[in-house]
Structure 1
Amino acid sequence: MLDGVVTKDPAARLLRLLSLLQSRTDWPGPELADRLGVSTRTIRSDIERLRDLGYPVSATSGTAGGYRLGAGARLPPLLLDDEEAVAVAIGLRTAAAQTVGGIEETSLRALAKLDQVLPARLRSRVAALAASTVPLPGNGPAVDADVLATLAAACRDRRRIRFDYRDHGGNATLRDTEPHRLVATGRRWYLVAWDVDREDWRTFRIDRLAPRTPPGPPFPGRRLPPDEAIDVVTKGVASTLGPCRTVATVHAPAAVVSDRIPPVARVEHLDDERCLLHIGAATPLTLAVYLAALGLPFTVEGPAALLEALRQVSRHCAGAV
């Protein structure tokens, strides 16, 4: 129960009620009354006041009845606690450096509005983080924010979606999918989806697809935990790293190797002291440098061009010292 000041002050109580309605989808009337320390009759009166102010609050059915804040013509004010406000500010500051096209200016406008209303104690925290952090600009291909929104909605609503897709070889195809997750690697965005025609999970680079609208019919959910979705992306991307690929046996635990490789490479556990590293690169020399940079003992059986590149790197390093 809140303190008496909030309970007796109608304006403060109304803001608190709006904040609660924003925090989850459905609220039973008695629970709202208990949270605010008032009667259910007062809650009904406050709900009517919100409606008069233009907020679409609908009544929900049930034993006790309840309320839901719906979408409407007016965007309700966001009522954030301290930690939420700091998180939003930091997110807006870094958004301009990411690989989503068209949101840089929008993010700065939103941040300017947020800065105007941040309390001094929070503004100093955000300023300190901004002064101490240098975001690395995204160097991957930009993706369209509208495309991301379309795919995210299809994942959320479990609606099939068709799109034109261009693979890494430039081949164009029409894909019919059941979208599951969006995965961001820091440089690129990927869609993990069940390919209806191929009857298997597939990974699609979002900058290479163009959704066809409207979305298709709903589909039943397929179980794929978030960790497995990331694994699908890792395996898919590793297969297209470059024409020179190898599987190296690294004499170190898989967890140690995973911390030293880019997210597009794949580590396969063997035992407590060894793992397999599936990795590729554009040229044998680049791949040899990747492997040498691990700083861990490893063995590879080929290809021949990679073995020669490793000898070359070894000679150059030995000559340098």
Structure 2
Amino acid sequence: MAAPTSRLLELLSLLQSQREWPGTVLASRLGVSPRTVRRDIDRLRELGYRISATMGSDGGYRLGAGEHLPPLLFDDEQYVALTVALRTAAVAGAGIEESALRALTTLQQVMPSRLKHRLDGIRFTVSSPVSAGPVEPELLIALSSAAQTRDVVRMIYGSDEIPRRVEPHDVLWFGMRWYLLAWDRSADDWRIFRADRITRQESTGVRFAPREIPSGSAREYVEARFKGSQTGGWPCVGTVILQRPASAVLPFAGDGTVVDLGDGRCEYTSGSWSWVALAASLGRFDADLEVVAPRELAEAFGVLAKRNAAASK
């Protein structure tokens, strides 16, 4: 059984994670009796947290929303998650870099001392593409709000002079850039817009019915389009035998698969947006290879050989 103080923090964390918890479920999660849960709920109420209860065999507890709640408390895992999220937000290109750093400083000042040394060990670098321009937070908020309310947006994109009328479906952070996935009414098709190239947008006040996104979700669709596919996987997938041990290939395999064949050889399967691009990517292993399948990959090596020969003259 957890100590009373840590148990209260865990209970509060659970109550903050969803609207209502059955008392028996809370007791099971905390490893205590329903009676102990009721006592802990009373302690939280004494601290100022407004927690309502429903009666009956399926009775539960709900943490009330409002402006007068005491400061939120976080458990150790939440402190770690917030630290990583804020350090990433500091380079997200959304115009919140300074605010994220100030929030991180505030978080470090209030977190338990036992965590400071642990979190000081979290050091990582998030690279940002030079070509990606800054994106104002107000733009991201407006686009996200339009996606939630299903509001048609009129916007100027890139060098366009004529406004586009689009149906925003989602705003995504992908490949170190912010994107808007929307149905373009002019093109009568899905389009992926870089948020940093949207120079002006405004609501039209016209509502639209949500459309089914190909590939299931916005992220899956965007990932597929950047692979040159409509289904989520690479459009061109091939298999080769490399004259290198699997241990030497694995660190550079990316999303490919490696099968150890012994005798310093391995079978490698990977994909790309074209057969020639796939053939060229296999050159990074600097090894003799044998094409297993398909025939298109073998033919692509022939095309690549001609291009390389011409470039060497």
TM-score range, shorter chain: 0.5 to 0.7
Change (3 A) 1:191 1:111: same
Residue pairs, 1:1-321, within 5 angstroms: 2-3=1-2, 5-6=3-4, 15-32=9-26, 35=30, 37-39=33-35, 42=39, 45=42, 48-49=45-46, 53=48, 55=49, 57=51, 64-74=58-68, 77-101=71-95, 103-130=96-123, 133-139=124-130, 140-155=132-147, 157=148, 159-186=149-176, 188-196=177-185, 198-209=187-198, 210-213=200-203, 217=207, 219-220=209-210, 222-223=212-213, 224-225=216-217, 226-232=219-225, 235=228, 259=254, 276-277=273-274, 295=283, 298=301, 313-315=311-313
1:108 partner amino acid: L
CA deviation string 1:203-223 (max 9, x = no partner): 121123344348764745625
Asked if 1 retains the 8 angstrom alpha-carbon contact of 2:153 and 2:204, the reply is: no
Gaps of 5+ in 1: 237-248, 261-271, 281-290, 302-306, 316-321
Change (3 A) 1:228 1:276: closer
Secondary structure in 1 aligned to 2:212? coil
**Quick one: distance in 2 between partners of 1:122 and 1:220?**
44
Q: Alpha carbon RMSD of aligned pairs, Å?
A: 4.5
CA deviation string 1:120-143 (max 9, x = no partner): 44322322232xx34434521111
Asked if 1 retains the 8 angstrom alpha-carbon contact of 2:93 and 2:134, the reply is: yes
TM-score w.r.t. structure 2 length? Answer: 0.62
Asked if 2 retains the 8 angstrom alpha-carbon contact of 1:160 and 1:176, the reply is: no
Asked if 2 retains the 8 angstrom alpha-carbon contact of 1:99 and 1:138, the reply is: no
TM-score w.r.t. structure 1 length? Answer: 0.61
**Quick one: distance in 2 between partners of 1:200 and 1:314?**
43
**Quick one: distance in 1 between partners of 2:91 and 2:272?**
35
**Quick one: distance in 1 between partners of 2:51 and 2:172?**
31
Change (3 A) 1:119 1:174: same
Asked if 1 retains the 8 angstrom alpha-carbon contact of 2:15 and 2:21, the reply is: yes
CA deviation string 1:259-288 (max 9, x = no partner): 49xxxxxxxxxxx688652999xxxxxxxx
Gaps of 5+ in 2: 230-235, 241-249, 256-268, 285-299
Shift of 1:258: 9.2
2:101 partner amino acid: L
Secondary structure in 2 aligned to 1:170? coil
**Quick one: distance in 1 between partners of 2:146 and 2:202?**
12
Q: Percent identity?
A: 34
1:202 partner amino acid: R
Shift of 1:106: 1.0
**Quick one: distance in 2 between partners of 1:195 and 1:75?**
43
Asked if 1 retains the 8 angstrom alpha-carbon contact of 2:154 and 2:202, the reply is: yes
How many pairs were matched up? 262
Partner of 1:267 in structure 2? Answer: none
Change (3 A) 1:26 1:164: same
